[in-house]
């Protein structure tokens, strides 16, 4: 018996800014969600970047209630929680060392929300777009998206429009570039049987990086492997050697692309069997051979967006153009569709009959065995109960 189901945790499809319980609460284009280390037991509070309302909101899981966290009106003011101002906050991540979280905003700043003091501090950026390494306000970004923080007090931020990943040393607030050349080129995967070239961080182009997370699998050294969603690929970056692995990026580059046709996608090191979509192939879509070329240059067809990792090492990925949620076994490359019918819409149901509209950021909640998803265009946050003690992610997909 499958216990998996998709339901709406926040909102009813109507935009607004209202605190309340479940469907009575209102958000406007929520972009980022993150499990919180604030407020007691792990994962009992979800932090939501309520983008169009320019606020950070709290969702209390046990009560199904949305409440205020920080932000007042649109602007650039770092002060107390209630009086601080944000410009379209995008993403949020917890501070693993203290009670607080980091957020990124459309004004190209990275802020810190200190829950112990109820204060907001600007860590880097100055609300001026550009590209410059430097210290604090002297550093420049261009539309920072995903962000993740290490126990060594280093922030890694996806500098979306600069096509780079930046590192911020928190104590000194020094910003450096660690991944990306600044080019939005999407490199083709190696040919079958060929030895892939070795790319180091700043020699490998990444196109429009979106979200990043660390591998949490039991065999991985903590914070040693970084996964990054970009146009056309999910990249795996080895922190110690500062090199990329094609293991995930090649497979996803083709597999996300061909999901609507249900065909197999081959890569250098493994074969990904992707489940057929519940929808029939779209007759307006390019043929398979044409799609393979488009995969490398047109993000209309490949759109891995949000990403998180379960404690077992399974990656959960949202695909914003196919309006679907996938799982990827990081060990063998198996990709399964776990939620979403492929239809653009707003419908709670069993996972493969549910509908999303631009699912963006997501966060895995270990203790409750579920995934929370910011469904941007339906003004809601959904929850997918995909884990069960007796049911694997692959079984749920079937």
DSSP label of 356: B
Answer whether residue 18 is part of any domain.
yes
Cα radius of gyration (the chain): 20
Answer whether residue 363 is part of any domain.
yes
More confident residue, 8 or 198: 8
Q: What is the pTM of this model?
A: 0.82
Tell me how crowded residue 214 is: count the other CB atoms within 10 A of its CB.
Answer: 21
Answer whether residue 153 is part of any domain.
yes
Answer whether residue 32 is part of any domain.
yes
**Rounded to an integer, what is the distance from CA 101 to the centroid of its chain?**
16
More confident residue, 285 or 371: 371
Answer whether residue 173 is part of any domain.
yes
Decide if pLDDT at 333 tops 80: no
Number of domains within the chain: 1
CATH number at residue 117: 2.120.10.30
Please spell the DSSP secondary structure of 175-235, one letter per residue.
EEEEE--S----PPPPPTTPPPPP-BGGGS--SS---EEE---TTSPTT-EEEEEETTEEE
Beta bridge partners of 176: 167
Answer whether residue 1 is part of any domain.
no
DSSP label of 293: H
Query: What are the residues whose beta carbons fall under 8 Å from the beta carbon of 326, sequence distance 6 or more?
Result: 256, 259, 316, 317, 318, 319, 335, 336, 337, 338
Answer whether residue 370 is part of any domain.
yes
Decide if pLDDT at 282 tops 80: no
Alpha carbons 260 and 314: distance in angstroms, whole number:
22
Comparing 20-29, 162-171, 244-253, the range with the smallest average pLDDT is: 244-253
First to last CA, the chain: 12
What is the arrangement of strands in the sheet containing 174-179, beginning at the earlier edge strand?
134-135, 174-179, 164-169, 154-159, 144-149
Predicted confidence at residue 195, as pLDDT, reads 67
Lookup result for tokens 């100055």:
126
Decide if pLDDT at 270 tops 50: no
Predicted confidence at residue 329, as pLDDT, reads 80
Predicted confidence at residue 368, as pLDDT, reads 62
Predicted confidence at residue 62, as pLDDT, reads 86
Q: By CB neighbour count within 10 A (0-12 exposed, 13-18 middle, 19+ buried), where does 287 fall?
A: exposed
Asked whether the beta carbons of 91 and 104 are under 8 A apart, the reply is yes
Predicted confidence at residue 219, as pLDDT, reads 83
Answer whether residue 347 is part of any domain.
yes
The secondary structure element, H or E, covering residue 173 is: none
Alpha carbons 10 and 45: distance in angstroms, whole number:
13
Domain extent, residue 372, equals: 6-397
């Amino acid at each position: 018996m499958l216990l998996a189901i998709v339901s709406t945790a926040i909102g009813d499809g109507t935009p607004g800014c209202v605190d309340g319980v479940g469907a009575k609460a209102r958000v406007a284009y929520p972009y980022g969600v993150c499990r919180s280390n604030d407020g007691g037991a792990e994962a009992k509070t979800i932090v939501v970047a309520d983008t169009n309302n320019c606020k950070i909101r709290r969702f209390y899981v046990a009560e199904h209630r949305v409440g205020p966290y920080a932000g007042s009106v649109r602007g650039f003011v770092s002060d107390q929680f209630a009086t601080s101002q944000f410009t379209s906050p995008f993403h949020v991540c917890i501070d693993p060392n203290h009670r607080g979280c980091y957020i990124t905003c459309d004004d190209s700043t990275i802020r810190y929300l200190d829950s112990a003091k109820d204060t907001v501090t600007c860590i880097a950026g100055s609300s001026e777009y550009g590209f410059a390494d430097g210290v604090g306000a002297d550093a420049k970004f261009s539309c920072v998206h995903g962000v993740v923080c290490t126990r060594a007090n280093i922030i890694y931020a996806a500098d979306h429009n600069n096509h780079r990943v930046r590192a911020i040393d928190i104590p000194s607030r020094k910003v450096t570039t660690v991944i990306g050349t600044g080019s939005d080129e999407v490199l083709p995967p190696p040919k079958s049987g060929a030895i892939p070239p070795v790319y180091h961080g700043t020699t490998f182009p990444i196109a429009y990086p979106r979200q990043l997370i660390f591998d949490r699998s039991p065999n991985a050294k903590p914070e040693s492997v970084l996964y990054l969603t970009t146009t056309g690929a999910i990249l795996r970056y080895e922190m110690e050697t500062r090199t990329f692995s094609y293991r995930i990026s090649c497979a996803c580059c083709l597999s996300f692309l061909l999901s609507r046709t249900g065909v197999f996608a081959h890569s250098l090191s493994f074969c990904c069997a992707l489940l057929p979509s519940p929808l029939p192939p779209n007759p307006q879509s390019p043929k398979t051979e044409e799609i393979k070329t488009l995969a490398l240059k047109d993000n209309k067809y490949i759109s891995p967006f949000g990403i998180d990792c379960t404690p077992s090492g399974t990656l959960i990925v949202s695909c914003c153009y196919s309006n679907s949620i996938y799982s990827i076994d990081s060990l063998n490359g198996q990709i399964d569709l776990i939620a979403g019918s492929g239809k653009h819409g707003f419908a709670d149901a069993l996972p493969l009959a549910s509908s999303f509209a631009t699912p963006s950021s997501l966060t895995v909640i270990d203790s409750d065995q579920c995934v929370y998803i910011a469904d941007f265009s339906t003004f809601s946050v959904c929850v997918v109960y995909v884990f069960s003690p007796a049911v694997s992610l692959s079984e749920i997909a079937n």
